[in-house]
Structure formats: structure tokens, C-alpha cells
Amino acid sequence: MDNELIKSCEAKAQTWLASSVYDAETQAEVQKMLDSEDKTELIEGFYKNLEFGTGGLRGIMGVGTNRMNIYTVGAATQGLSNYLNKAFKDKEQISVVVGHDCRNNSRLFAEVSANIFAANGIKVYLFDDMRPTPEMSFAIRHLGCQSGIILTASHNPKEYNGYKAYWDDGAQVLAPHDKGIIDEVNQVRAEDIKGLSKTLDAGNPLIEIIGKEIDDIYLQKIHTICIDPEVIARQKDLKIVYTPIHGTGMMLIPQSLKLWGFENVHTVPEQMIKDGNFPTVVSPNPENAEALTMAINLAKSIDADIVMASDPDADRVGMACKNSDGEWVLINGNQTCMIFLYYIIKNRIATGKMKGNEFIVKTIVTTELIKAIADKNNVEMLDCYTGFKWIAREIRLREGVKQYIGGGEESYGFLAQDFVRDKDAVSACSLLAEICAWAKDQGKTLFDVLMDIYLEYGYTLNHTINVVKPGKSGADEIKAMMQNFRENGPKELAGSKVILTKDYQTLKATDAEGNVTDINQPEPSNVLQWYTEDGSKVSVRPSGTEPKIKFYMEIAEKMGCAKCYEKATAAAMEKVEAIKSDLNL
């Protein structure tokens, strides 16, 4: 073990023992780490400071500078308070919303944060219990607040927690505020944190508890996005199975489905229990088939029409439906996003709701079939970077001029309205049930709708490959891979000529003849894309949060009929293997 690293960690740990800021329980844990012969825990806890990045904090809970605890959360809140007090110095009363999910310590961290905001003269609206992330985003806008935070680690394993910061438009913080907040947080020492206490200062006039009154307004707003209430009235007995996977979705999603008129909603009882240990799943991520096992089993036993699941903070939605053979299949994030936008556009046109100024948004790694749908129906489509803060930015830039009607990304996030500025599983589940009712009204399943889309707009297979490269050596390797791809990009992929290369680092697109055009994005990003003659697209980018490099492949293939789906998928998978070989994966 590195002796210098151990000494450095011991020195940092000693400062926690020497300061009266840290409570006795924390100091006892630190002493235990110092006394232990095995220094692994000490190193993991103190080898660096948990970084407050553009997405806030995320890390494993525990003692130390590199862990999620009341001191790292406290420093983040103090830094955010300092920035708010500077940014809105002329405002008589700055206010924030504080929300949290079902995770262990989420309520504690929320109450600690509320105390600190109030101690800094900031008015706090604190939810009375766990709530979905999108409701917190809604509350910022509804209550006219300047900021908001949510304590959540989304769909990460149970050991994790996180802290996400939002701005006055209800979206996650973007430039220049993200960098400004980070600078403030980095300057905070434990001694600088005002009002740090594990007990909520309930008598403080600056802390107001909110709950059902916001739920009701939010649910009513969500109901306004219903496109075809008549089809729901006809299919009110649609058999829906829903699971919140122990998380915040249980607070509102069954209520929302009922408000929309669905009378036959079945929840998974074992997963309707709030539990930060997520005891019934390996990982509380609706992207993983395993997380939907219990819901699918229930669906089979009652012969349901649709299965839907939300992640612990209810911003992502996963779903499963029956295929043409009656077998339950998972619908991936690209397909989900495509079905939503296809339905919204098609049925807004059918019900006469289109005014001509509508637009939709997708991220650059999400399926290009969405663009085909938008183009054919004369709807403007915008591409943005991965992450809902970028979709929210496109909405903000057009506010009051153009009408946002939907947007999403391949990682199971969708937003069907603009009164929330983050992905929203509450509205997505409600709209998904409506789409299923519309399909059933025509004697179809969601799978049939998916086949209809492929037959009308072309078939593509979306396949993602994650290459994990841990540690500093891994980070260097990823950097070298990206450099090599830039200098020696492929001339063809799976036997098809590369006709366009987009480099978001330089914001330049180069075609096969060498002609260069500008890419319109707000800032550079370390992403490369190759488009081939046969209509395929490959995107590559290092992950911003994990030690891996991601390859997003979209493979175009011929599909002549609904029964040809399996054959087209098999042919596309052969191309995936060829591309892996071409890129040395």
C-alpha cells in the first residue's frame, strides 16, 4: 500500500478528530479507521474530497471527505447558499425547495440542508416526505423559488446517495451558475457551515413544510397533457401493472393513473414499501430486466396489458408489453421515447391540437427514427447533449415563442410537458397508459404500435456497449482511445462507407469529400459520431460519471413486414459484431 497516501489520509482524518464541528459518533468512526491495521476504509473515505460537479454530489454514504454524510452535504448547501445570496442579492427573500427520495439518510440530509439554508436567511419549502424529483422541479416554478435541491442517487445501488441542484427555471444548473456554485462549494470548510444540526429546526419561520397541496396542483397539471380522454373512457379497464421499486413513484403515480380515468391498476405489493435497501431487486434500475421481474410475474398471473416501473426518484420509466406471440418483452429507452413522440405528434394532429409552432427534442445519441417521424409530420426537432438539463435549455430558449410537446433520451427519461424541467415518470406513466389504451382501442398492443412505426419510418436496432477502464491507467487509456479515433477514424463500418463524421470537441462535421461545417451546440463535448451510407450511426463518448467509454450503435436494417422483426434484428446484430471488430472492441 502507498505509504504517502496513507499518511495524507491520516492527516486529513486527524483534522476531523481535532475539530469540534464533527459529532462524537463521526469521530469514533474516524478513530476506528485510524486504529485499524487495514487502511482500505481510511483511504476510501479520505483519499480525496467528494467532488461537487455540474450534476451536484453523488457517492457512497459513510464517514470521510470522499463520502456522502452531513458534512459533505452541509458544505454543498453552504456553498449553494453563498452563491444564491450573491446572485440574488437584491431580492427581498430568496427561497428554495428541498426534496428527497426513499434512500437511507435522504430525509436526514434534506433536513440538514433545510437548517443550513434557513441559517443563511433563505426561505425553505421542505416536502413532508419523499417525493419524485420532477415534482420538486415543478414546485420551484410553481412557488417562484430561485433554486431547489433533491437528495437522491437516482437508480444507483443502495450504498449511494446524491445531491442535485436546480435553478429558478426548475432545471438542473447550467453555465455560468454551475461553475459559480462549484467555486463557492470548494471554498467551504466545515467550520463555515451555518446551522449544521441533525435535528430539523421546526420552529424556524423560514422553514415551511409542504406536501399534499403541491401534489394536487401538480397532478392536475399533469392531467392537462391527456390528448384523448375519450379513448381512456372506452378503455378504463385497461389492466396496468405498476411498480415504484420501493421509491417515490408510489406517492403519485397510482393517483395520477386514477385521475386520468384508469380503474384497473395493480401495484406490486412487495415493492410498494418504502425501503432504501431495495430488498427485492439487485439494482433499482428500470433499465435492467431483473428490476421488472416481480411486475412481469404479476402481469402474467392477471393477464395484464402493460407493465411500467419507475426508478427510486421517479424520473425514469421502464416498460414491458406482450409481443405478437403473447410473450412479455422489454421496450428499451430508444423505443419508449420513439413511441411517446410518435403518439403525441400523430394524435395531436388527429385531435386538431397542432398550431404549427410545436417542437420536440432528443439527445444526439438517441434514435434518428425520431427525426424521420418529426420531418414527415412537419414538426421541428432539435438535437442536444445527453442529460435533461440540455433539453430544459432548449425549452427555455423558446419559451413564449414555440410550443414544446415532448422530448427524451435513450436512458429511459421522457418529458411530455414544460411545467417540469426534468425527466418525469409521473406524467410519462400516465401518458404511456393512454397510448396503451389507444392501441387497445384498435385491437393492438404497444408492441404492434412499435412495429407500425418501424414499417412506416424504417427499422433500426439500438445497441450500447460499455467498455469499463477503472483507475488512472483506465482514464489514460480512454483518453488515448478518443485521440486515436479522432486521428484515425474509420473509413467504413460493417462494410458501409462513413459519409459524415461529427466531432463535438471541435464542433465540426466533416463529410466524405472533406467538406467541413459547424455543429450548433452551446459548448464543446468529448463526443464523436460516424454516419454510414446505409443509414447507421455510431456515437462514442467517455462517461462523465463512471470509469468507462460508451459506444452507442444505431444499425439500419430492412424490415418488410411485422413478422420480419426478428430477422431484421438478427441481421442488425451481425452488423454490431462487425462494427465491434472494426473498432477493436
State the catalytic residues: 154
Helix (H) or strand (E) holding 548: strand 548-557
| C-alpha cell belonging to residue 302 | 392477471
Q: Per residue, what are the HEC states of 482-519?
A: HHHHHHCCCCEECCEEEEEEEECCCCEEEECCCCEEEC
Torsion angle (degrees, nearest 10) of CA 197, 203, 204, 208: 100
Separation between Cα atoms, residue 225 and residue 395, nearest integer Å: 16
* Of the candidates 537, 504, 509, the residue with the CA atom closest to the CA atom of residue 521: 504
The residues, ordered by sequence, that sit 6+ positions from 109 with a Cβ below 8 Å of its Cβ are 68, 70, 73, 100, 151, 161, 163
Hunting for cell 397533457 — which residue is that? 225
Q: Is residue 141 within 8 Å of residue 419, measured between CB atoms?
A: yes
Separation between Cα atoms, residue 208 and residue 98, nearest integer Å: 10
CA 106 to chain centre: 18
| C-alpha cell belonging to residue 182 | 462549484
* Of the candidates 62, 57, 84, the residue with the CA atom closest to the CA atom of residue 73: 57
Q: Per residue, what are the HEC states of 263-306?
A: CCEEECHHHCCCCCCCCCCCCCCCCCHHHHHHHHHHHHHHCCCE
| C-alpha cell belonging to residue 61 | 454514504
Q: β-strands 328-331, 317-322: how paired?
A: antiparallel
The residues, ordered by sequence, that sit 6+ positions from 235 with a Cβ below 8 Å of its Cβ are 437, 438, 440, 441
Separation between Cα atoms, residue 447 and residue 451, nearest integer Å: 6
**Inter-axis angle of helices 333-350 and 446-457, nearest 10:** 80
The residues, ordered by sequence, that sit 6+ positions from 203 with a Cβ below 8 Å of its Cβ are none
Hunting for cell 444540526 — which residue is that? 197
Q: Per residue, what are the HEC states of 11-26?
A: HHHHHHHHCCCCCHHH
Instruction: State the Cα angle at 327 between 325 and 330, rounded to 5°.
Output: 125
* Of the candidates 158, 175, 149, 169, the residue with the CA atom closest to the CA atom of residue 73: 149
**CB hemisphere CA count around 310 (13 angstroms):** 33
Separation between Cα atoms, residue 349 and residue 340, nearest integer Å: 14
Measure Cα distances from 317 to 82, 268, 427, 495 in Å.
35, 16, 10, 36
Separation between Cα atoms, residue 504 and residue 520, nearest integer Å: 9
Separation between Cα atoms, residue 400 and residue 459, nearest integer Å: 36
Hunting for cell 415518470 — which residue is that? 425
